[in-house]
Structure 1
């Protein structure tokens, strides 16, 4: 996978999801926004929130894997993924009475030509071995995923975490579990709320996808580019603040 293909795949993933939500909103507005459609939009918005994060992160990990970098060249989070994979192989035979697996780990980590290689199945949505949304992509789970792929969890995301928990994730959880909400005055769901949530959710997703591309293009996942990464993060700070000032 080259950078052009990565960009194409990420753009396509985002586009069809945005279109699907836009189509549902048009249907809702054309029918005076019935509650049943608003609930469906909220559920689908969550599905794309979780799906796009998982898919984008996996594509990024696959891109890095195909660069064939050596273990010592990549940042600490990627080294940790390699070690996790090696240890997982060892655990499969944890009842063994000898130390062959443990010694194999040490030998692999001591090899100077050890490659960064992590098995990642982009097309298997049920594979949670590396990117695990825990079927409930809260701000805290998002933080963990960004940490796995080496991206920064922004202060702006944290500032919106309570809003997302209350107005997005809690409502999604309630609807998904079949609770009747039509007569619950504390559960207000209208088209304005839906539109605001869509804007916030896709703003965060757009920023993360843009950053994945920048990290891939500039090799910010490599130890040698740490200083360049710091410069980029500073430059990006004001842009993200501007985006969130409109939300």
Structure 2
């Protein structure tokens, strides 16, 4: 699998869709219709970004899984992420019988020496830079530039306001459309570069002092 080609395909699809969304807004002759489309374009923009974030990391994880790397060679952050998600350790399990099952599964993982990293990425519909960078850090990928925090917060706030019917905070104009669409395009490029850098440097491999 040429992951660079796959990542660029994900970007191309979304760049084209963003261009079509923006064009469909600008060609409207009715101001009311244009305003409505501007507002609901934010929901589509958010969906395009969250989809890219999760799909691109899914490709990265698939790349690592195909390497058949021993768990003893995983970087400690990636190993912790992998075991935590495979065994659902973040869930508050109080049933002791489930503890027994988890212990057996952990021993089986250790005996096998190999494990597939779960590909599902759950941002819990909360793509703040802090949340995304926490996930990226666990996967040994350089995070998104923190200077983009305000813009991503704006995207999330507008998306939530529109989705939940908060009309007071759901105003969107051409300036916001341009700002957030450029944010998504630039961030897709940035994240792709960071994923490819992690692969080139084998950042997911344990550092030996």
TM-score interval (norm. to shorter): 0.7 to 0.9
TM-score (normalizing by structure 1): 0.71
TM-score (normalizing by structure 2): 0.82
Partner Cα separation in structure 2 for residue 104 and residue 19 of structure 1: 44
Q: Which residue of 2 aligns with 1:40?
A: 40
Assess if the C-alpha contact under 8 Å between 2:65 and 2:117 holds in 1: yes
Q: Which residue of 1 aligns with 2:143?
A: 153
Q: Deviation at 1:65?
A: 0.7
Q: Deviations over 1:98-119 (max 9, x none)?
A: 957525524643x4x6124224
Which of 201, 213, 238 aligns to 2:184? It is 201
**Farther off after superposition, 211-220 or 39-48:** 211-220
Q: Which residue of 1 aligns with 2:11?
A: 14
- Distance change >3 Å, CA 119–CA 146, structure 1 → 2: closer
Q: Which residue of 1 aligns with 2:116?
A: 117
- Distance change >3 Å, CA 93–CA 27, structure 1 → 2: same
Which of 124, 127, 146 aligns to 1:137? It is 127
- Distance change >3 Å, CA 106–CA 93, structure 1 → 2: farther
Q: Which residue of 2 aligns with 1:169?
A: 156
Question: 5+ unaligned residues in a row in structure 1: which ranges?
Answer: 121-129, 228-247
- Distance change >3 Å, CA 94–CA 65, structure 1 → 2: farther
Q: Which residue of 1 aligns with 2:166?
A: 179
Q: Which residue of 1 aligns with 2:49?
A: 49
Structure 1 vs Structure 2 CA RMSD: 3.0
- Distance change >3 Å, CA 29–CA 81, structure 1 → 2: same
- Structure 1 segment 60-75 matched on structure 2, within 5 A: 60-75=60-75
Partner Cα separation in structure 2 for residue 67 and residue 85 of structure 1: 19
Partner Cα separation in structure 1 for residue 136 and residue 48 of structure 2: 17
- Distance change >3 Å, CA 194–CA 94, structure 1 → 2: same
Q: Deviations over 1:225-246 (max 9, x none)?
A: x89xxxxxxxxxxxxxxxxxxx
Q: Secondary structure at the match of 1:117?
A: coil
Partner Cα separation in structure 1 for residue 21 and residue 108 of structure 2: 55
Assess if the C-alpha contact under 8 Å between 1:70 and 1:114 holds in 2: yes
Assess if the C-alpha contact under 8 Å between 1:46 and 1:172 holds in 2: yes
Assess if the C-alpha contact under 8 Å between 2:14 and 2:48 holds in 1: yes
Q: Deviation at 1:16?
A: 1.0
